[in-house]
Structures are given as structure tokens and as C-alpha cells.
Structure 1
Amino acid sequence: MDTRRAWWIWGIAVFAYLAAITQRTSFGVAGLAATERFNASAAALSAFTVVQLLVYAGLQVPVGLLVDRFGSRILIAGGAVLMCLGQTQLAFAATVPEGLVGRLPVGAGVAMTFVSVMRLLPTWFRPLRIPVLTQLTGMLGMLGQVISAVPFAALLHLHGWTSAFLAAAALSVLGAVLAGVVLRDVPPGVERPVPPTLRQTGQSLSGAWKQPGTRLGLWSHFTVQFAGNVFVLAWGYPFLASAQGLDPATASALVTLFVVVALVCGPFVGTFVSRHPMRRSSMVLLITAATAAAWLAVILYPGRAPLWLLVLLVVVLAVGGPGSVIAFDFARTFNPVSRVGTATGIVNVGGFVSALLVMFGIGLILDALKAAGFSGGGLYDLHSFKLALCLQFVFLAGGAAALLVTRRQVRAQLADQGVIVRPLWKAVLHRTRTGGTERSFRPARRAQDAGEPGAQD
């Protein structure tokens, strides 16, 4: 493990994920152009992203089962081909239905990529490296947002819709070729596991879901991940450029800032998870509270928010990116390697279900406010946007409540294994008095459903 070839494998997998993120986020940058091209309402515009995410979320569990059965190489290459076909269809689409058809294979292709990349890590790298590599994978993949926000947006402005989306499709062609030629599912000399039978596949799905650590990951992802996705994939650019009155260059710069902050924070979050594995859920709750506070400040600010406050909002939302990746560490440490793909798929459903519900809900609210005559300044009126964005608080509060309930179940399971996780304030007080640190633990094999040492909350 950790050989030079392992790093090459990881690098190609990350590139494939970067290309997938480019395809996923390209429509968010093209939102205003899509409104003109398709003469679309806010609800119709949000439907493009909702359809893509609906396919993505719906395929997470099937993809997790498939990657455990057939391996990452086939699914990553196949996903790249699907994304290329979808972006090509969208490039020539002239109506909303034609455009929606193009987003379907894009959602399927992205769904096949991330879970497959995560599945490679425990096969090629030592366990101690995986938390940081998981963060780096997610954050380097987010560079696809920079490609969408800068070169793709510039190409869209200079050469038009068709050329921009065909160029994006070409990136997935390269990803498919590299994945097919370079990627391997297991290191040389390691025998590939026998694919599970249909019955074993069902048992894997059932076992992953029954494990409370998997559900803790699901609710962590549900709560932390959607706010950033809603901002980057759908409503962030219209909110900044139209409601807040920023020029396109400044709006694109803020989207780019989102990615830069996420990249910088990712390794720190990964290091925190490695050093304080029993406080992962506390980090998730802290990020949730910060997200709610940042949006509340922007929404309650009278009139348009100053640039510094919008920058603060983007920074907080960006931290939610690496924060949501903590959810996959729950899936990895509470499940055996043979069902990591399945558990990761279950966890990954959470954030995208909440994201698509919030995205579509915001679009419906904006249309309803316009129909009621509330939007005096147009569809993307500032006051209408502020009201619509309040929908996020419902999901932040509900997700946090579900996370707390599930965390109690996880800690009860750990207590049965002889590990007591003290409340955070007691742990901080103890460390302040003694100068010590909380110990991690290695559950006994007989009590360990995870199959891997270190299943902590």
C-alpha cells in the first residue's frame, strides 16, 4: 500500500471526479443564460438541477452495490461516458424537455463516480491516511467548480451555449480514457474479491443500513452538504448577480472563493478527524450552526448585503464542503471494506436529497411570490429571494435533530463495547484540568460490526 502506483491511481481517480464536478456545476453558472435560451421560469430552471440530483440520489445505493460487485474502474469509465453524452445533448437542446433529457445521464454519471473513487482508497492506502485523502479527494474534485466558474463561464459568454457545453463534454472523454487505461481495482498481487451473490448483496445493504454509524453519516451529510450545493449548483449565482446586484466578474470570483476555501479547509478537517475521531459529529453540528448564522445575517441585513458579509457567507458555506465529507468517514469506520461502497452510497443520498428538495422549493416559492405580485423587481427580486432562502432553516434544524437522535444510538452501541463518549463540555473541562487528550479505541473484533479498528463517533 501507499506505493507510487497507488498515488497514480488516486490521481487519475481524482481527475475523473474533478471532471464529474465540472459537469455537475456547469449548469449553475449557466442559469441566467438558460433562462433566456429556454424562456424558463424559476421552477423550470430549478428543475434542471433537481432532475440531475434526483437521478444522482436515486442511484447512490444501486451504485454502491454495483461498485462492491464490479469494481471502481468499470463504473468510473462508464460514468464519464454517460456525462459526455448528457452534456452533448444539452449543448444542442432548444427546449426545456430536451435540456432535461441531457441532465439525466449527467446525474447518473456523477453518481457512478464519487462512490467508486471512495471505494479505491481502503484498497490502495493504509487506514491512517484515508481521512485526509478522503478530504483531499473531495476538495480537489471541487476544482471542477473553478473550471465551471471561470473558463466555462468565459467560453459561454464569448462563444455561446453549444460551444461551452461541448467543451465540458470533452473533459469527460479524457476522464473515460484515463480511467479505462490506468485505473485498477486492487494492487498487483492482491486477489480481487469474489463478487457477492444477489443474496449477499441484499445482506450487505441490510447490514449497512442497520449499522447506526451509517445512519449517522447519512444525517450528517443531509444536514451539512445541501447549503453549499444549493448555492453553487442553482441559486448562488442568480442571488449574487441579480438580487445582490454584483457584477458577473465579482459573482464568479465569489464562486471561485468557495472552492479555494474548501480546498484550504479540507486537510485541516481531515487532520481533525484523524486526531479527534470521537468528536466528528460535534464538528458537523458546529458547521451546521455556523451555516444557519451566516444565512440569518445575510437575510436579516436591511437591503443588499455588503460585500464583506457575502464573502463571510461564502466562506462558511465552503467549510460545509469538507464538513460533509466527515459523513463518509462514518461509513468507512463503521462498516467492513466489503460493504464500504454500499454504506457510502447510503450516506451520499442524504445531502443530495435535501439539496434537491431545497432547490426546487426555492424555485416554487420564487414563482409563487411573483404570481402574487410580491416580486416588484422581477423574478429574482431581493426580498423574494430572502423569503425563499428561509426554507433552508427548516432543513438545517430538522437534520440537526435527526443527527442528535442517531448519535445517541451510536454512543449507546459504543457503550456496549465498553467505550463511553463523554459530552464535549466534560471532555474539554477534563483536558483543561489534566492537559491530557481523549483516547481513541479499537473495539474488540467480537463486538465490532465495522470490521475495521477505530469506529468512533
Structure 2
Amino acid sequence: MEKQNSKYRWAVFATVLFTYFLIVSQRTAPGLITDQLMKDFGLTASTIGLLTSIQFLAYASLQIPIGLLSDRYGPNFFLIFGTILNGIGTVLYSVAPNEFFLLFSRLLVGLGDATIWVNLVLILSLWFKGNEFVGLIGIAGMAGSFGFLLATVPFSLWISLWGWRGPFLSIGVILLVLGSLLYFILVKKPKQLFSSQEQKGTLSREEQVKERTFSLLLRILSSRQAWATFLCHFGVVGTYVGFIGSWAVPYGMNVYDMTRSNASQLIMIGLIGAIIGAPITSWIAGRLGSIKKPYTVIHLVSFLGWTAILLFGGKPPFYMLIILFFIIGYCNGANTLTFAVVRQSFDRKEVGLASGFANTGGFLSAVLLPSIFGKILDHFHAAPIHVGYFFAFMIPVIFSILGLAGGLLIKEQHQEAKGMG
């Protein structure tokens, strides 16, 4: 396919990657201004919690529908629309006069964010060959980790200098501009360069519509490979994102008597691991010519990491804790191999739905783990604090066992299988 041999595909890659980087930064950036929001708007802790949950619930609930729609009608429109929706939501957030606007704006951000990763996977699968895709999906994962990193010290310093509204407004405007740029990069310019290929793609999509949605969904839900990727993502993403995003800082403060600032550095250690985990593990997979082998090892290491914390009664030596946070972060970074498996295992007309199904697994566990973890801590509230954490750490251990099962279930296939070349 001419697209996959053109130099133009790198312009596509760079633009889509930068868009993903900025959008990921806005998933957690509002956490930097929790105290200011409570002060400025008189919000309760439960309302703050709702601001976070409404965004991620919108994200998780739309993964399968977005996958279906993107397979049917192509990924370009949904990536562009999602970027613009994210930009509008971020702008509204920056000018919100009351809590209703805050909630509505975060809902828009969640809806926009829901379209991004699935369509990024689809776009890369269309523009790059299978052997390139494995490495590039790792770089995409690294870009996401840098996005999370942006939403820590750099964004915090920007807020300190400008106040919180200015930075969010700026990012929102940049995303709106990126939406226009994506239209030029993904739609307008390719029509000039690859008109015949675009027409073939249109005919292909018309043929895809002939298959009923129910039968397509049923085929994915009955696929061993789809459930393997679901479990992989469930085991490695939810354990990291769910814990880091909710209990990591309280854990450091309560169990190790750390300050809030020092405890937050545990998150930075995990992020550093995630940043290098994506490209290195993808490179290893490419060198080995196997995704299953390194990914199964990653899930085994993740399981052993959580188990080590558990075996030390929820309080390993501090030097070991730092190493374990780095390792667990590294394993999360390697989760992009989930989508390398999807890319090589499913036809183009199924990649969006299969990606959405796998991504649902990750964010389902990210929603479940903080809640179950918290309920266990509440149950043992009268006991010494480390006792509650000991039993709570059984949850990421159990979740990571499911991830390991997913890795073992993966059926290795050749890079160019299923017409994905």
C-alpha cells in the first residue's frame, strides 16, 4: 500500500502523537488544582471525586462503541472530532463560573478523550506496516507517559505563575488548533496525494457496513485473542493507574510517614519506569519477532512486584519500594504491546472494536481497584494502618494474576497476519 511507503506517514505520526501527548496531560492536570477549586467554588470532596469519575466513566463506557464506529466509518473523523471536543471542554473548564460548568466541561473532555487512543491505533495501522507498528506503538505509549509527566511539576509551575485558568485556556485553544491541523494532515492532504487509495478505502468501508454490528461484536466477544488482550490490559493498567491515581500518595504518607511532596515522588518514579517501558519492550519484541514472550514476562514481573509488597506485610524496605514502583511503572509502559497483539491478530475492519474492547479492560480495572482498595482499608480502620494496606494489596496481586493469564492466552501470530500489511 503506497501510504505505508510514503514519507508523508511521518507527518501523520508526529501530528497524531503530539495530539495524544497533550490530551493525556489533561486527564490528571485538574488534580493539581483540587484545593483551589474547593476554595473558589466551595466544592466538597465528593464533588471533586465526581469531577474525576465522570471523565473516566465517559471514557470507559465509550471504548467499544467508538471502536465499532471507527471501524465502520474510518478513524480520521473521530480523532478530529474528539480533539475538538476535548479542546472545547478544556476551554469551558478554564472559564467555568460554577460547579455545573466544571462537571459539564469534564464530561466533554472525557467524551473527547474516549475517541483518541482507539483511533490512534487505527490510524497507525493504516499508515505503517506491521514491523514498524510494534515499535511506533511503544513510542506512542511513551508520549502518553510524557503527557502524564507534563501534568506534574511543569504544569504546576505554570499554574503558580499564571493562576489555574490561564494554563487550561491555553491548552484548550491549542487543542482546537490541532483539530484543524489534523483535518489538513489526515483528510485534505492525503486526498491530494493518495486519491486512488482513498477511493479504494471508501469502497472497502462500504463493504464493511454490510456486516451487521451484532455479528461483528459477537465474533470479537467469542475470540480468545480479544479476551487475552482484555485480561492483559486489565491486569497491568488498572493495577498501576488505579493505585497510583488514588492510593499511592496516602500509602507513602500513612505507612512511611512521608510528606505529601515526598510521597508524590513515588508517582514520578513510576512514571519514569513507564516512559522507558513502552519503547524498550516494543524494541525487544521487534528484535525477538515475538510479542507474546516479552509481554508474558512483563505480566509475570508485574505480578511478582505486587506480590513482593504483599509478602513484606504491605511495608517493604524503602529502597525496595522505590525499585518496585519503578518496575511496576515499567510494566505499565509495556502495556502498548496489547495493541500490537490487536494489530497483528484482527482484520482492519475489526481493529477499532478489538482495541476498544482491550482498552475497556484496562479502564474497568482502573475504576474497580481504587474503590475495592478503599473499602478494604475502611474495613480494617481500627487495626494498625499497615494491616489494612496488607489486605488491600491482595487486590492488585489478584488483578495482575488475571493479566498474566491473558499473556499466556495470547496466540502468537506472524507480524503481517490477517491482511494487516
Residue 216 of structure 1: how far off its partner (Å): 0.6
For residues 385 and 154 of structure 1, the distance between their equivalents in structure 2, rounded to whole angstroms, comes to 33
- Going from structure 1 to structure 2, the CA distance change for 1:112 and 1:397 (only over 3 Å counts) comes to same
Q: Residues 92 and 261 (structure 1 numbering): CA distance in 2 closer, same or farther, change over 3 Å?
A: same
Which of 279, 297, 304 is 1:290 aligned to?
Answer: 304
CA–CA distance in structure 2, aligned partners of residues 129 and 174 of structure 1: 29
The AA in structure 1 aligned to 2:197 is V
Please give the per-residue CA displacement for 1:280-310, whole angstroms capped at 9, x wherever unaligned. 55224323313413543676327xx63x344
CA deviation profile, 1:47-79 (whole Å, cap 9, x unmatched) = 433322221111011111121223222112211
What is the identity, as a one-letter code, of the residue corresponding to 1:24? R
- The residue number in structure 1 matching 2:342 is 331
With 311-320 and 187-196 compared, the bigger mean Cα shift is at 187-196
Structure 1: gaps (5+ residues): 415-439
- For residues 60 and 394 of structure 2, the distance between their equivalents in structure 1, rounded to whole angstroms, comes to 23
- Is residue 2:348 matched to residue 1:344? no
Per-residue deviation, 1:204: 2.8
Which residue number corresponds to residue 103 of structure 1? 106
Deviation string for 1:341-394 (max 9, x for gaps)?
Answer: 11111111001001011123345556x46xx97499xxxx87766665554334
Contact 1:243–1:382 (CA under 8 A) maintained in structure 2: yes
Deviations 1:378-412 (A, max 9, x none): xxx877666655543343345545x37x71xx65x
Give 1:193's aligned residue. 202
* Counterpart-to-counterpart distance in 2, 1:364 and 1:88: 36
Q: What letter matches 2:225 in structure 1?
A: G
Give the distance between the partners of 2:95 and 2:372, measured in 1 at CA: 28
Q: Distance in 2 between matches of 1:353 and 1:270?
A: 24
1-structure distance, mates of 2:130, 2:400: 31
1:17 alignment partner, one of 5, 17, 20: 20
2:106 is the counterpart of 1:74? no
TM-score (norm 1): 0.77
In 2, Cα distance between the equivalents of 1:201 and 1:126? 27
In the alignment, the residues of structure 2 paired with residue 33 and residue 382 of structure 1 have an alpha-carbon distance, to the nearest angstrom, of 31
User: What aligned pairs does 1:129-208 form with structure 2 within 5 A after superposition?
Assistant: 129-184=132-187, 188=194, 189-191=196-198, 192-194=201-203, 195=205, 196-197=208-209, 199-208=211-220
Q: Which position in structure 1 is the counterpart of 2:64?
A: 61
Deviation at 1:441, TM superposition (A): 5.2
Q: 2:235 aligns with which of 207, 223, 227?
A: 223
8 Å Cα contact 2:314-2:393 kept in structure 1: no
CA distance in 2, matches of 1:152, 1:132: 29
Q: How far apart are 1:245 and its partner, in Å?
A: 5.0
Measured in 2, the distance between the counterparts of 1:151 and 1:48 equals: 22
Q: Which residue of 1 aligns with 2:270?
A: 258
Distance 1:214 1:173, change over 3 A: same
Counterpart for residue 122 of structure 2 = 119
| Equivalence for 2:11 | 8
Q: Which amino acid aligns with 1:163?
A: G
In 2, Cα distance between equivalents of 1:281 and 1:398: 13
What's the offset of the Cα at 1:251?
4.9
- CA-to-partner distance for each residue in 1:321-359, whole Å, 9 max, x for gaps? 232212112212221112111111111100100101112
| Structure with greater helix percent | 2
Q: How many residues were matched structurally?
A: 406
Assess if the C-alpha contact under 8 Å between 2:277 and 2:334 holds in 1: no
